[in-house]
């Protein structure tokens, strides 16, 4: 009840009070402190004795330091073998036709006709992995590397580390829980 009464007195004649406050003459701001700006001097006259000494020390040639600098000899060698650079250029230049592709309209990808040598598309990788999983004697890493123009080491790594459709069935903690049987 008290809040209602207080709100009534607060809002009483509010608009007139606002107009009166806006119409009042605002107090003037206090004058700012006078700032003395540094005088701009011509560049020749700007150098004082301390600045001149620093500038002279910067521009002076130090013969012992120059002699030490001339004695430094840097021999640089390229750690990468030459065949690594050949491989990079050949990968960018040579291309091979696709062996297998997924329908492009389903995934919204552009239709590819060829890929660089040493590379695989997702469709080709999935096809190679599923073929190897179904027939490991026929689809060996050597055959996959030959068919898809891959390095043998890369083909072995793909078959070892790229496992797309592996389903892990976690056994239940107790026998009452239903379990999916692996077929």
Tell me phi and psi for residue 114, to 5 degrees: -150, 160
- Identify whether 175 is part of a domain: no
What is the predicted pLDDT for the residue at 103? 59
Q: Is residue 117 one of the residues assigned to a domain?
A: yes
Q: Decide: 125 and 102 in contact? Cβ < 8 Å.
A: no
Q: What SS3 state is found at 95?
A: strand
| Residue from 162, 156, 119, 161 nearest 141 by CA | 156
Question: What's the number of domains the chain is made of?
Answer: 1
Which residues, 6+ apart, have CB-to-CB distance to 124 below 8 Å?
98, 99, 100, 101, 115, 148
Give a yes or no: residue 120 inside a domain: yes
72 in a domain, yes or no? no
Q: What is the pLDDT of residues 64-111, one digit of tens each?
A: 888 988 898 888 887 766 555 455 444 456 888 776 655 555 555 566
Q: Which pLDDT tens digit goes with each residue over 100-130?
A: 655 555 555 566 778 888 888 888 888 888 8
Q: Residue 96: inside a domain, yes or no?
A: yes
Q: Which pLDDT belongs to residue 65?
A: 87
- Among residues 99, 92, 90, 94, which one has the least CA distance to residue 148? 99
Looking at the predicted structure, is the pLDDT value of residue 41 above 90? no
What is the percent of the chain where pLDDT is above 90? 10
pLDDT at 142 over 90: yes
- Cβ(160)–Cβ(127) below 8 Å: no
Confirm whether 176 is domain-assigned.
no
- Residues spanned by the domain of 151: 85-161
Q: Would you say the C-alpha torsion 94, 99, 103, 107 has a positive or negative sign?
A: negative
Q: What is the pLDDT of residue 91?
A: 44
* pLDDT at residue 144, as a whole number: 92
pTM score, whole prediction: 0.38
Residue 154 maps to a domain: yes
Distance spanning both ends of the chain, measured CA to CA:
76
């Amino acid at each position: 009840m008290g809040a209602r009464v207080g709100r009534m007195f607060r809002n009483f004649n509010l608009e007139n009070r606002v107009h009166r406050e806006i119409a009042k003459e605002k107090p003037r701001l206090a004058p700012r402190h006078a700032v003395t700006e540094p005088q701009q001097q011509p560049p020749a006259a700007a150098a004082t004795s301390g600045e001149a000494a620093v500038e002279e020390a910067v521009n002076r040639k130090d013969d012992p330091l120059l002699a030490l600098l001339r004695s430094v000899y840097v021999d640089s060698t390229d750690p990468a073998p030459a065949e690594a650079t050949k491989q990079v250029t050949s990968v960018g230049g040579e291309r091979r036709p696709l062996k297998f592709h997924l329908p492009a309209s389903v995934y919204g990808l552009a239709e590819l006709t060829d890929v660089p040598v040493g590379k695989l598309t997702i469709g080709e990788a999935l096809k190679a992995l599923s073929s190897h999983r179904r027939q490991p004697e026929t689809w060996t890493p050597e055959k996959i590397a030959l068919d898809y123009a891959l390095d043998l080491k890369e083909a072995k790594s793909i078959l070892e580390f790229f496992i797309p459709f592996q389903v892990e069935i976690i056994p239940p903690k107790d026998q009452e829980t239903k379990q999916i049987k692996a077929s």
